[in-house]
């Protein structure tokens, strides 16, 4: 890879591929993905490709905070960062290498699943190839966003390892359930404009709504299960967000969240004693 190579990423990948760790980690994720896929089918949120994409999105959102904790906030992760800050590597190289390494297993799942779905499209058809591309792009953005959220909390609470992870999971679960959380609030509001604003924010904030819309004009809010539990939103008129606009918002906010993390890495490089967490 020459001058373009990232030595931190090489080290991270070597550690994750070594021995039976790679196959074991992928196998566990595949089993959990299959279980989530079954739950999505059971709840009638979608069928076929939609159900599988939603299952992938849920897997990524639930797995990423733990992976980020292991790479950045654990004792081993902080020790590695302390060593790296003593080298000539730039803060960006360290952050990017650790971030990509922590996301490696999820990236493999996305890649393998995309190749399998492309093969299905090639021989069976049934959906537009562009939709498959959009869906996988949305999954990559969700992976980046969930990692940025986890890193941001880890940077805010430098003296704790458990609290940032709990907060990251809490926020991600709130985003996934935004249409449920905002329902009781909408019921208590009389102003129609305020109801419309809250509904729009809840839909744009929800990563599963964004992901489902990459596959076309899918009315996921009015599936039987969601309609029953999110009636304050599903039972009234609303407009679905454009998935690409929602993706841009997610990506932009993620970049903003990572900025203070990058600046902290820069300070750690100048004074390694500052390192308690990222």
> What string of DSSP letters covers 257-274?
HHHHHHHHHHHHHH-GGG
Asked if pLDDT for residue 270 goes beyond 60, the answer is no
Asked if pLDDT for residue 86 goes beyond 80, the answer is no
pTM, to two decimals: 0.86
- pLDDT 10s digits, 159-168: 777 888 899 9
| Percent of residues, the chain, with pLDDT higher than 70 | 83
Specify burial of residue 159 (Cβ count, 10 A radius: 0-12, 13-18, 19+). Answer: exposed
Asked if pLDDT for residue 256 goes beyond 90, the answer is yes
The single-letter DSSP state of residue 241 is P
- Using pLDDT thresholds of 50, 70 and 90, give the confidence band for residue 190: confident
pLDDT of residue 8: 82
The single-letter DSSP state of residue 46 is -
- pLDDT 10s digits, 212-242: 889 887 767 666 656 565 555 655 667 788 8
- Nearest 5 degrees, angle CA 98-CA 154-CA 259? 70
Higher pLDDT, residue 251 or 235: 251
Domain range annotation of the chain? 19-274
The average pLDDT across 154-158 equals 78
In the predicted model, what is the mean pLDDT of the chain? 81
At residue 188, the 3 state secondary structure works out as coil
pLDDT of residue 257: 92
> What string of DSSP letters covers 202-240?
HHHH-HHHHHHHTTSS--GGGSHHHHHHSHHHHTS---P
- Dist CA 83 CA 68 (whole Å): 18
CB 7 within 8 A of CB 101: no
CB 51 within 8 A of CB 241: no
CB 203 within 8 A of CB 230: no
- Dist CA 140 CA 106 (whole Å): 9
- Using pLDDT thresholds of 50, 70 and 90, give the confidence band for residue 149: very high
């Amino acid at each position: 890879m020459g001058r373009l190579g990232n030595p931190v990423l090489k080290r991270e990948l070597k550690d994750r591929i070594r021995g039976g760790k790679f196959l074991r980690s992928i196998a566990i994720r595949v089993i959990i993905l299959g279980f989530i896929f079954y739950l999505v089918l059971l709840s009638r949120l979608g069928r076929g490709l939609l159900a599988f994409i939603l299952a992938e999105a849920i897997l990524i959102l639930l797995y990423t905070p733990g992976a980020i904790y292991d790479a950045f906030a654990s004792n081993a992760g902080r020790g590695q960062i302390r060593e790296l800050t003593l080298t000539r590597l730039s803060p960006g190289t360290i952050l990017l290498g650790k971030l990509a390494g922590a996301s490696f297993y999820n990236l493999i799942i996305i890649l393998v699943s995309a190749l399998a779905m492309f093969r299905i499209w090639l021989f069976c058809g049934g959906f537009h190839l562009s939709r498959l591309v959009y869906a996988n792009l949305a999954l990559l953005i969700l992976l980046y966003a969930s990692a940025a959220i986890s890193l941001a909390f880890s940077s805010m609470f430098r003296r704790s390892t458990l609290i940032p992870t709990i907060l990251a999971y809490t926020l991600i679960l709130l985003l996934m359930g935004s249409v449920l959380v905002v329902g009781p609030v909408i019921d208590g509001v009389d102003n129609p404009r305020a109801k419309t604003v809250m509904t729009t924010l809840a839909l744009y904030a929800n990563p599963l709504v964004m992901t489902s819309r990459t596959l076309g004009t899918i009315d996921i809010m009015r599936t039987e299960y969601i309609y029953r539990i999110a009636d304050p939103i599903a039972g009234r008129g609303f407009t679905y967000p454009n998935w690409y606009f929602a993706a841009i918002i997610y990506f932009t906010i993620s970049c903003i969240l990572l900025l203070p993390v990058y600046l902290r890495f820069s300070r750690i490089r100048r004074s390694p004693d500052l390192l308690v967490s990222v």
